Amino acid sequence: MRTSTLMFTALAAVLAFGVPVHAYDGGAVADGGTISGTVVFDGTAPAAEKIAVTKDKKVCGEEKVSPKLLVGADGGIENVVVRITTISKGKAMDVPATNPVFDQKGCEYTPHILLFPAGSTIDILNSDGILHNVHTTSTANPAFNQAQPKFKKKLQKTIEKPEMGIKVVCDAHGWMNAWWISQDHPYYALTDAKGAFSLTDVPAGDYEVEFWHETLGKHTEKVSVTSNGTVTLTVKMAMN
């Protein structure tokens, strides 16, 4: 085969197998807009589920409130990950000075949803004096299952690639679970206890915004952002 044929075939092969090609260009954004709003539960929210603690009660207590669905008094859903799905140019990624911290305290993961830029090294702490293990399920990044007994106070893990939703569980304490979000760009937010979120310094343009909740699933909205303008969304999510 001629070289050019070979190269074309190789490119075709690459495209057929769908290797995603995207890179983010971060810099200064002048006159950016804002996307903000609240995510509310459609209908009557169920009461928060309680889980009975079955072991290590001295450290873990008797009962835990399940973080799988937390809805506030006015219907706001906590812990919804809001992000612009595809954006190639915008504000610079905010890389924090210290590593993101993921703690195991009172047999709960804190925070329940951890957001960080791809490539970060996470400091995993064991603040309880008992055995936990950090067991991830992940597709883009290598998954791992690392024991963390009481004498290993800090474990460090680097997550190289962007990934939307790495699940973290502790096998020793079945109710413990959390999610890691490895960001490919800075336009990610987490709703607070009232369901409120805000994405600032968004360059003017049309975007798709995705709302993801671990129990309620995904929802997308299309928005148009204008310079110095604010887009306010009220998103309803329901059990399906």
Question: Which range of residues in 111-119, 165-173, 179-187, 226-234 is near other proteins by CB under 8 A?
Answer: 165-173
d(CA 228, CA 29): 11
Residue 147: enclosing H or E segment and its boundaries? strand 145-148
Cα atoms in the 13 Å half-sphere on the side-chain side of 52: 1
d(CA 122, CA 168): 13
45-84: contacts with other proteins (CB under 8 A): 54-55
d(CA 53, CA 59): 10
Give yes or no for a contact between 163 and 139, defined as CB atoms under 8 angstroms apart. Answer: yes
**Tokens 């343009």 belong to residue:** 205
Question: Which range of residues in 35-43, 100-108, 141-149, 223-231 is near other proteins by CB under 8 A?
Answer: 141-149
Tell me if 148 contacts other proteins by CB under 8 A: yes
With CB under 8 A as the rule, give the number of residues binding other proteins.
35
Q: Which amino acid is at 227?
A: S
Q: Which of 3, 18, 21, 234 binds other proteins (CB under 8 A)?
A: 18
Q: Which of 50, 150, 161, 218 binds other proteins (CB under 8 A)?
A: 150
The CB-of-177 to other proteins minimum distance in angstroms stands at 12
3-class DSSP assignment, residue 14: helix
Pick the closer one to other proteins by CB: 134 or 235.
134
Q: Which of 64, 91, 135, 213 binds other proteins (CB under 8 A)?
A: 135
The CB-of-157 to other proteins minimum distance in angstroms stands at 10
What is the β-pairing status of strands 101-105 and 121-126? Answer: parallel
Q: By the criterion CB under 8 A, which residues form the site for other proteins?
A: 1, 4-5, 8-9, 12-13, 15-18, 54-55, 130-131, 133-135, 137, 142-152, 155, 171-174
